[in-house]
Chains A and B, each alone.
Chain A
Amino acid sequence: MEKYMFIFKGGDYESLKLSPDEIQQNMQKWYKWIQDLTKQDIYVDGEPLEKGGKIVTKNGSKIVVTDGPFPEAKELVGGYFIINAKDYNHAAEIAKQCPGFEYGGAVEIRKVMKM
């Protein structure tokens, strides 16, 4: 088993004006998904990410801190998982169960470097 990172992108829940019931249903799906993956020893770690943020870059000779990024809704990273999977195919199969697809989300999968 190898470690992979799921990067959850998109799914602009705010603009969709979901009803309380829809939000609860989706929340329960996410909760159940993490519970199930935990039981299977697939889920290792994960966190949701707050909106907003800072960007630190070098501009000429100076290092600059600005607010950002402010990406398009579909590029917005909402959170991540670290999971155990056999290979990319296996990881992708797992990712197919993501409840985020219902509301326009996507999953980017990256293998964590073995060191």
Chain B
Amino acid sequence: MNPAASEKQEYQSFIDNLFRRESGKITSVLTKIFGVKNIELVEDVVQDTLLKALQQWPYSGIPENPAAWLYQSSKNRAIDLLRQSNLKEKYSSEISVLFKSEWSLSHSMNEFFSENEIKDGQLRMIFTCCHPDLPGETQVALALKHLCGFSVKEISKAFLTNEETIAKRLTRAKIKLNSWTIAFEIPTGKEAERRLANVLSTLYLLFNEGYNSSGNKLIRDELMREAIYLTGLITEHPVTAKPEAHALLSLMLFHAARTPARLDEHGSIKLLEEQDRTLWDKMMINQAVYHLELSAAGDKVSEYHLEAGIANEIRKLPEQDKLNNYYLYHSVIGELYLKNNQPEEAKINFTKALQLTESEAEKKLLNRKLNMI
């Protein structure tokens, strides 16, 4: 390969949003070390690291392992901070006992940046940001900021609101979190179920911010991707990998998979039967089915199970011409849209189903549904 071609490949293979993704990971790990109260200090370390990379990489070249470089720089900065004895007492107590000697300091620091520790840190951050005593929108904003590396400006663009609103929301959250002296942990015991339920609900909210948004397409896709990424983390950790988490991930993937076919040239929503199925993302659908199967464990059926199940049934339904005269199909689609807070599409489908059925009972049911919309 000639030098020009290989260099071009190196440049283009540099991962989209790498800095965002890694900043979320580093923030999570460092918050484990320095504690939730010191999150601003943590943000400064991350910022310094990224700015160092901005200054150096253009000259030195992009490292073969960019993430590792970022981790190393953050580790060094964190070690510097920990050496300053006047700050030591402020950090999370479980951590400070590890930093007894010079050798153990570097060694411990490396341990914190292992793959498992990073994932563990991210999960703790998810549970901290998605705290049930905070308003749903605030939880989403916190997750976007600390886990997904979004700035206040970027969050406000995603919510189609102004920066001041988001900044205030985050400040109020910080004050609350500080006053609760919150532990940075994955909840266990009795609390675990309630906390997980809340996390899933918040991640679904984040997903829908993207899915239902009338804003910029790139931002919409990004929000769905982040929700899928975070829910994926939940399904990967043995403590949190409950069936309902798999069901939620499955349903997100089904919806996201259909996105390329969902809108027409004018940005209006296309009904399922009008969508070009070849545009559906096959890989996402395969992943959706995979998680749906994992969600079948146990005997609890959550709302996410139902939605994912419906989404799967729709995917399996026969091709277009057979579908159009099938009233049950339109009924089911209508239900799906209703559950997804898409009343207009629901109305269209229930009306079509009404036209296609001969059963009086079905007609009554459909009319009732239509009147409720």
Give me the interface of A with B, judged by CB distance under 8 Å.
13-14, 17-24, 26-28, 30-35, 39, 46-48, 78-79
Contact = CB atoms under 8 A, between A and B. Distances in A.
A20 B145 CA distance: 11
Nearest to B43: A17
Contact of B11 (A24, A31, A79): A31
Contacts of A46: 59
Given A17-B47, A27-B57, 10 more contacts: A14-B47, A19-B20, A20-B19, A20-B23, A23-B53, A24-B17, A24-B50, A30-B58, A48-B55, A48-B56
B55 A20 contact: no
Given A34-B58, A34-B59, A48-B59, A27 B53 contact: yes
16 contacts: A13-B51, A19-B20, A19-B150, A20-B20, A20-B22, A20-B46, A20-B151, A22-B151, A24-B17, A24-B20, A31-B11, A34-B58, A39-B4, A48-B56, A48-B58, A78-B55
Interface of B: 4, 7, 11, 14, 17-20, 22-23, 46-47, 50-51, 53-59, 61-62, 149-151, 153-154
A115 to B, nearest CB: 26
A1 to B, nearest CB: 21
A19 B151 contact: yes
Contacts of A78: 55
A75 to B, nearest CB: 17
Contacts of B22: 20
Tell me the interface secondary structure of chain B in the complex: helix
Contacts of A18: 151
Nearest to A49: B55
A19 B149 contact: yes
Contacts of A20: 19-20, 22-23, 46, 50, 149, 151
Contact of B51 (A21, A23, A79): A23
A82 to B, nearest CB: 12
Contacts of B59: 34, 46-48, 79
Given A31-B11, A31-B62, A39-B4, A21 B54 contact: no
B10 to A, nearest CB: 9
